[in-house]
Chains A and B, each alone.
Chain A
Amino acid sequence: MKKLIAITFALPVMGTLACTKSEPPPPTPAPITVPATTLPAPLSVTTVTLGTSIGADKRVAAPTETFGAKDTIYSSVETAGAGHAKLRAHWSFVKGEKTAKVDDTTIEFDAAGPTVNEFHISKPSGWPKGDYKVEIFLGDGETPAATRSFKVS
């Protein structure tokens, strides 16, 4: 009787072992590819161009650094990188070592990639002849990221 009980219990176990042994090994999971984490490049000013008109892409069509008294003066500013951007254009009249503020305009945006921005100034009564400059500041920095000088003649 004891022998019969032993066989009764042993057979299913042996069967299970036999079945397990004959099953193919589970497929090896494919290695998980984790994309390399790349931090977006910090924002930077790449190009500043002056002219009297811009296209739909905000770029200056015909760059110049000499303007007439009745011109609207455009400054096209291109940036690279991503993140929150605060671009400030500070326009000045330069006479010797003195400067007089002409205008100060800031534009803020969230850049997902390269951007093109334009700042423009006009003066209905006409620009006084002389030397001018536009300084482009990025963020709250006090050092301009770019400076362009121009003349009104």
Chain B
Amino acid sequence: MTIGQDGKNDDDMPDFSDVRSGASSTAPGAEVVQTYEVKSGDSLSKIAKNFYGNGNAWKRIYEANTDILKDPNKIYPGQKLKIPPKA
């Protein structure tokens, strides 16, 4: 099952959950921030495992999103989380 951008089930669309991405710039001091839209069944540790290969790195994601997350155990589909670069 794939969740579309609107958060609704979109079974005829492919699954892009394993997409890897990155960016860089010739400008000195450039900072790359990825965003991830929370899907049904996600947790911060699952997202951290996906991006960093380590579920214990969930704190990095939580700390980058304290403006929208008050409790690391409560994330909701459709929330857009900032994913800081891998340390």
* A interface residues, Cβ below 8 angstroms from B: 57-58, 85, 89, 91, 93, 95, 98-112, 115-125, 128, 130
Choice from B14, B21, B28 contacting A119 with Cβ under 8 Å = B21
Tell whether A107 pairs with B2 under 8 Å between CB atoms, given A123-B18, A123-B20: no
Is B56 positioned at the interface, with any CB of A under 8 Å from its CB? no
Q: Which 10 A-B pairs have the closest CB atoms?
A: A109-B30, A109-B27, A128-B14, A100-B13, A117-B25, A103-B21, A115-B27, A107-B23, A104-B35, A119-B23
B22 close to A100 (CB less than 8 A):
no
Contact B20 A117 (CB under 8 A): no
CB <8 Å contact, B2 and A100: yes
* Contact (Cβ within 8 A) A58 B37: no
For chain B, the bracket of interface size reads: 20 to 34
Q: Which residues of B contact A103 (CB under 8 A)?
A: 16, 19, 21, 34
With beta carbons under 8 angstroms apart, the residue of A57, A95, A111 that contacts B27 is A111
- Taking CB atoms, residues of chain B closer than 8 Å to A99 are 5
B33, A98: Cβ atoms closer than 8 Å: no
Whether B64 sits at the interface, judged by CB under 8 Å, is: no
Residues of A contacting B63 in the complex (Cβ-Cβ under 8 angstroms):
none
Given contacts A89-B23, A98-B4, A110-B27, contact A105 B18 (CB under 8 A): no
21 A-B pairs within 8 Å (CB atoms) are namely A58-B26, A95-B13, A98-B4, A100-B2, A100-B10, A100-B14, A103-B16, A104-B34, A104-B36, A105-B22, A105-B34, A106-B35, A107-B31, A108-B30, A109-B27, A109-B31, A115-B26, A119-B21, A120-B22, A123-B16, A123-B19
Residue contact A108 to B14, C-beta cutoff 8 Å: no
**Given contacts A103-B19, A117-B24, is CB(A108)–CB(B2) below 8 Å?**
no
Q: Give A134 to B10 CA distance when docked, in angstroms.
A: 20
A107–B37 alpha-carbon span in the complex (Å): 17
